[in-house]
Amino acid sequence: MTFQLKVILVLCIILAISLSIASYFGAFIPATYEQDAPSMAAQGIGQDMVDLFLVVPLLLSSLFFMLRNNKSAHFILTGTLFYVVYSFFIYSFGVHFNQMFLIYCLTLGVSLYAFILMLYQLGSRDVENWFKEKLPVRSIGILLIVIAVMFYLLWLKDVVPAILAHTVPPSISNYNLLVNPVHVLDLAIALPGLIIAAILLMKKNRFGFILAPVFLVFIIILTMALAGMVLMLNMKAISDDTSLMGVFIVLAIISAGFLFLALRNIKAE
């Protein structure tokens, strides 16, 4: 095992522990979100449940197979790490200060550096030649662009009217936030990343072959977490609208189908 892989191993083990602690306290210790609005707290609990029972096992299993040089596991682990980075930027900047603050910071930092190392690990390999010629690059690229456009429209519908009216969107004022960190991450990083990955993949650029499967994994986990948030809002009687949960589940299933197609087209050893 190379030194770089040893570092990734240590970081991921620390991450699994810190993520488990943060998720357990969020899901089962009511005091964790007592300073947040009830809607925000319910969404946090829903995401914590997904993190504890889906993301942590996925992180550890993909790490195990990645260390055994399974090519598919490289993408799954990297996409899982990106989801944790994305989520814990929100926890660190969007959740009111609580007893888990240092755990949030630890989880964010460890996942960020593990993600960077995994990208370097993939970038040092001949990834574009891992895939067969029949990989549906155009279809995967179109899916990533469609998902990016959907979320752009969703957030711009919230942000642009408020800017024009010189007001603050309810998603900020209702939660007593300075800004909505989800808006920042999506508009500045995640959604442009989906579009860039899609274009690079359709042009058969090597970085497209790295980023597209990683973003598919990210989308699957994120949409499952969003579905968990909506479900918890319903269970807490804060909202009775479950239509968005259905949309997120459909997006997760479609993305999982395309990820399966991509990974199935990895050449055998």
pTM: 0.96
- Residue 174 is predicted with a pLDDT of 84
**119: CB partners within 8 A, 6+ apart:** 78, 210
DSSP string for residues in 65-129: HHHTT-HHHHHHHHHHHHHHHHHHHHHHHHSPP-TTHHHHHHHHHHHHHHHHHHHHHHHTS-GGG
Q: With pLDDT > 70 as the criterion, what percentage of the chain qualifies?
A: 100
Considering only residues 38 and 171, tell me which one the structure prediction assigns the higher pLDDT.
Answer: 38
pLDDT of 176 higher than 90:
no
Q: With pLDDT > 90 as the criterion, what percentage of the chain qualifies?
A: 90
In this structure, the number of other CB atoms found within 10 A of the CB of residue 14 comes to 16
Output the six-digit token pair for 88: 């814990």
179 falls within a domain: yes
What is the average pLDDT across 138-145? 97
**Do 200 and 207 contact (CB within 8 A), yes or no?**
yes
In this structure, the number of other CB atoms found within 10 A of the CB of residue 102 comes to 9
Name the band, by pLDDT with cuts 50, 70 and 90, for residue 248: very high
- Residue 267 is predicted with a pLDDT of 86
Name the band, by pLDDT with cuts 50, 70 and 90, for residue 144: very high
**184: CB partners within 8 A, 6+ apart:** none
User: How far apart (Å, rounded) are the C-alpha atoms in residues 200 and 141?
Assistant: 8
User: How far apart (Å, rounded) are the C-alpha atoms in residues 148 and 187?
Assistant: 9
- Quote the mean pLDDT of the chain: 95
CA 137 to chain centre: 22
Q: What are the pLDDT digits (tens) for 48-61?
A: 999 999 999 999 99
Output the six-digit token pair for 81: 């790490």
Q: What are the pLDDT digits (tens) for 211-224?
A: 999 999 999 999 99
What is the average pLDDT across 176-203? 95
Q: What are the pLDDT digits (tens) for 93-129?
A: 999 999 999 999 999 999 999 999 999 999 999 999 9
What range defines the domain where residue 23 resides? 3-264
pLDDT of 1 higher than 90:
no
Q: The tokens 């083990």 sit on which residue?
A: 13
- Residue 241 is predicted with a pLDDT of 79
Helices and strands (H and E) in the chain: how many: 11, 0
Considering only residues 269 and 235, tell me which one the structure prediction assigns the higher pLDDT.
Answer: 235
109 falls within a domain: yes
Beta strands per DSSP E along the chain: none
User: How far apart (Å, rounded) are the C-alpha atoms in residues 144 and 75?
Assistant: 16
269 falls within a domain: no
Residue 144 carries which side chain, given as an amino acid letter? Answer: L
Number of domains into which the chain is organized:
1
- Residue 225 is predicted with a pLDDT of 97
User: How far apart (Å, rounded) are the C-alpha atoms in residues 75 and 25?
Assistant: 29
Angstrom distances, CA of residue 85 to CA of 23, 89, 141, 240, 265? 14, 6, 23, 30, 28
242 falls within a domain: yes
- Residue 131 is predicted with a pLDDT of 94
What is the average pLDDT across 2-16? 96
Considering only residues 5 and 243, tell me which one the structure prediction assigns the higher pLDDT.
Answer: 5
- Residue 127 is predicted with a pLDDT of 92
Name the band, by pLDDT with cuts 50, 70 and 90, for residue 269: low
